[in-house]
Amino acid sequence: MSSKTVVLAVLFLAVVAYSQISRRPAATPAPGRPAEDLGTIIGKLEDQMRLAVLKGTSGWWVENLDEGYSETDSLGKVHTRDEVIAMQRSSDLVYDAWNLSDRTLHTYNGDTVIIIGKVNTEGTYKGQSLSGDFQFTRIWVKRGLEWKLASSQLTRIAATEGKP
């Protein structure tokens, strides 16, 4: 065989091997281990977030926000990770209620989860009311073995006629 034929054969085998790897399904768990249930994992993180909000536990935010985290609040203001952590550390932020409902999970490639839902809040920040009903969208991303909150957006739900 000529060296040109060998190079072409090696190149062909590399292309075939790469195409097989790129078409491989998501990693399967080791025998005897259950598959990762993203609904349960993200649900627990969301519930931990709720408790951190109610207890004023800023450590949750430090541990679970992605380095590039950004948040758009219900007034359209964008906050960075550091700004959100500072607000969570502030004694000016007080929540008496933070109730999640109607959560729907959308998973992409096993490493990105978009969760949409509703939250009813009762609270204040620097004397301003944070109470009301809101629609939220949050994006969770898997970083190594951990899930991190990458982005969050909140929209106030307008009161309907006949409702206070």
**Predicted structure pTM score:** 0.73
Give dist(CA 137, CA 115) in Å, integer. Answer: 6
Helix/strand/coil for 28: coil
pLDDT of the chain, 164 residues: tens digit per residue: 555 544 344 444 443 333 333 333 343 344 443 445 888 999 999 999 999 999 988 999 999 999 999 999 999 999 999 999 999 999 999 999 999 999 999 999 989 999 999 999 999 999 899 999 999 999 999 999 999 999 999 999 987 655 55
Give dist(CA 161, CA 164) in Å, integer. Answer: 8
User: DSSP letters along 35-79, please?
Assistant: PP-HHHHHHHHHHHHHHHHHHT-THHHHHHEEEEEEEE-TTS-EE
Give dist(CA 121, CA 74) in Å, integer. Answer: 12
Chain mean position to CA 139? 4
Residue 103: burial class (beta carbons within 10 Å; 0-12, 13-18, 19+): middle
Give dist(CA 123, CA 77) in Å, integer. Answer: 18
Domain residue ranges of the chain, discontinuous segments joined by +: 33-156
Domain 33-156 has CATH 3.10.450.50: yes
Q: Which of 143, 8, 10, 2 is nearest to 69 (CA)?
A: 143
